[in-house]
Amino acid sequence: MLELIVMKLPNIYAHRNLKFLIAVPIVLMLIGLALSTQIVLDSSLRGGVSIILQTNSTVSAGALAGQVSAALHVQAPEIASSPGGVQVTLPINQSLANADSYLIEFYAYKANYTAYLVNATSLGIAYQQNMTPALLQQLQQANANINASLQGMRTALQHELAALQPFGISNSTSSNDADVLQQAAESAYSSASSQYQNQTIAALHTILPFTSYSYQQVTPTLGQFFLGELTNTIVIAFVLIFFVVLLIFRSPVPSLAVVFGAANDIIIALGAMGLFKIPLGVASVAGLLMLIGYSIDTDVLTAIRILRRGEGTPEDRAYSAMRTGVTMTATAIVSFGVLFVVSVVAYVPTYYEIAGVVLFGLIGDVFTTWLGNASMILLYKKRKGGL
């Protein structure tokens, strides 16, 4: 069926008004940029608690949000429901967030402590072999740094425990053993987190009966780290793509066209996420990376067929590539469309984010690749005298 529809597609490259074709994906890019400002980060990137409840009960998102807010004493809980369950997203507990920042500070002091301890041990051995004033001074400074780091660990642990007072967590901060202090710091945070999880689940159970649940907590610090790493991954991917394509075609124009195609697909997908309220999280970023791979595949194959093949005219080669590519993309759109529907009905947020991102990105890829990227390659071929 798809092949019959694709076979009837006209050769859009025959009329040679290629610049007008390029304008379409550019307009979609501008719309995507405008809509992408409405994207919200999910709890895996902004920090917070995400709880998925498997239930057959019919709930009102607005009413449930009010009940959750009153029971857990939190502001603006986010509720998303489907026939298969409910997702409750809560802001991170402030006491846990503060304790997490002090725990990170503790780890920094512990890292310094370890480094200074290794340095002092090395200097001690050297001083035993050669007792010079310079080595003695360095050894004394290293020991002073060790003591300062140990005091910093005790102070950070003291602040962490103070932040966790609402959970009734108490421990000693007077030890001179760094390992004992570390165990106390980690145990205090773990205990408070478990206590908060149990309290939250118990409160939700009084509001809404559910058969099973999944609980995920991400601190703001960890969320910012994830967001930074994911952003770096995408940037590095585009840089590598540019240089690999440049190596293949020995010209920056095809490389820029391929990068434009992939970037535009991403922007269109981000715009759809903002429009349909698909949150940006670790799962949706995985979908964006999948979309980059798919886009690069179609763009590179199109460029190779137009620039490297010799049969027929470049327009005919572009048209042939379009018919093949649209068939492949349409098949993928149907597949991810089914996955998207299933994820909504069965309420699987991970699949919902991945399928939504890839689905709308592939729809955008049809316009970007065959109206934008292919037209750019044809214009490049024409200027080189190949038309």
Read off the amino acid at residue 293. G
Residues 327 and 208 in one domain: no
Residues 213 and 223 in one domain: no
For the chain, the first-to-last Cα distance in angstroms comes to 34
> Domain limits at 148?
49-217
Total domains in the chain come to 2
Check residue 84 and give its pLDDT. Answer: 64
Q: What would the pLDDT profile of 274-291 be if each residue is shown by its tens digit?
A: 988 888 888 888 888 888
Alpha-carbon distance of 300 to 257, in angstroms, equals 9
Do 230 and 330 belong to one domain? yes
Mean pLDDT of all residues in 45-59: 79
Q: Find out whether 79 and 347 touch, Cβ atoms under 8 Å.
A: no
Residue 293 in this model has a pLDDT that exceeds 80? yes
Q: Is residue 150 pLDDT above 90, yes or no?
A: yes
| 193 and 241 share one domain | no
Q: Tell me, yes or no, whether 6 and 134 share the same domain.
A: no
Query: And the tokens for 385?
Result: 């005298």
| Between 147 and 17, the higher pLDDT residue | 147
What is the domain-level CATH number for residue 13?
1.20.1640.10
Round to whole Å and give the CA distance between 86 and 64.
Answer: 10
Q: Of 371, 380, 365, which Cα lies nearest the Cα of 256?
A: 380
- The DSSP output letter for 73 is T
Tell me the C-alpha distance between 203 and 7, whole Å.
59
